Amino acid sequence: MDTKTDYISKKQFGPSAGVLYLIGTPIGNLGDFSPRAKHLLSNVSVIACEDTRYSGQLLKKFQIKANLISFHKHNNFEKIPKLLNLLKKGEIIALITDAGLPGISDPGEDLVKATIKAGHKVICIPGPCAATTALVASGLPTQRFCFEGFLPTKSKDRKSILNVISQEERTTIIYESPHKLIKLLEDLSHVCGEERPLQVARELTKIHEEQVGSTIGEVLKHFSENKPRGEFTLVLGGAYKEIEEKSVSELIKKINLLQTKGQSKSDAIKAIANETGCSKNFLYSLMHEKDDSYT
């Protein structure tokens, strides 16, 4: 290690006594494991992880020797007091998840809440997260978005969340496992309509990474023909609300602009549908009305 890096590692990399570090780990590609994350994991007293065998293999690949404690949704409430006791003694704890950022769709949130309440410091060492990685690559609006994680499986809870999602105007991010993907796509199609923009990120950061879009109907067709395999994050376009006269002319202007730049009418409409969340049919009807008004 050169002097500069050494300086950074001592002054900025930590770790410090009595702190809980939330450490991001790769969601597939091991090249995304940050030097700072590896440094901290090599220097903490204890690493709390969902699956000690799974995380043990990851750490072994990087020659990180550590004291692992299992911390998952079935034992988190019994483990929290033990971890708080260690922090009180000045031990340094790292929390990692099977993949990605701890605290996103795992029990990390409860430990963070309890740690802050007990007066200890919490520091996050950022790393990959499937939700934000899928969002920024989706081509859907990123200015305002919301995260639903896994939808409930209980029929009543699921129905009510699906109704909320169908009305949501912001882009919505959803996690789903491969064997439940088709059912989720059918449910979304039922409440949002098959024209609603949807981009599905499969196997992010891995060799077989792919994006499947661009509407619920198209994605459903694709995965009915190609069995879902791997990990999936769905990015759903927001609900389109009644738009005013001013917005109509804005939409037409946007489509015209793309056409003057050389795009075909259908490509321009597709792009604006993705950008705004308006359905392609609606945009076609706007363009037809506009064309008719000139004849």
Residues forming contacts to ligand SAM in the complex (CB under 6 A) are 27-28, 97, 99-101, 104-106, 129-131, 175-177, 201, 203-206, 231-233
Q: Are 141 and 171 in contact (CB under 8 A)?
A: yes
Nearer to ligand SAM, 184 or 216 (CB): 184
Nearer to ligand SAM, 151 or 216 (CB): 151
Nearer to ligand SAM, 134 or 287 (CB): 134
Nearest in space to 201 (alpha carbons), one of 168, 226, 230: 230
* Token pair belonging to 98: 């099977």
Nearer to ligand SAM, 158 or 206 (CB): 206
Which residues make Cβ contacts (< 8 Å) with residue 110, sequence separation at least 6?
76, 77, 80
The CB-nearest residue to ligand SAM is: 100
Q: How far is the CB of 72 from ligand SAM (least distance, A)?
A: 10
Q: How far is the CB of 282 from ligand SAM (least distance, A)?
A: 30
Q: How far is the CB of 157 from ligand SAM (least distance, A)?
A: 18
- For residues 190 and 180, what is the distance between their CA atoms, to the nearest angstrom? 16
Q: How far is the CB of 92 from ligand SAM (least distance, A)?
A: 22
The continuous run of DSSP H or E covering 21 comes out as strand 19-23
Q: Are 134 and 210 in contact (CB under 8 A)?
A: no
Nearer to ligand SAM, 101 or 219 (CB): 101
* Token pair belonging to 17: 């006594």
- For residues 44 and 273, what is the distance between their CA atoms, to the nearest angstrom? 49
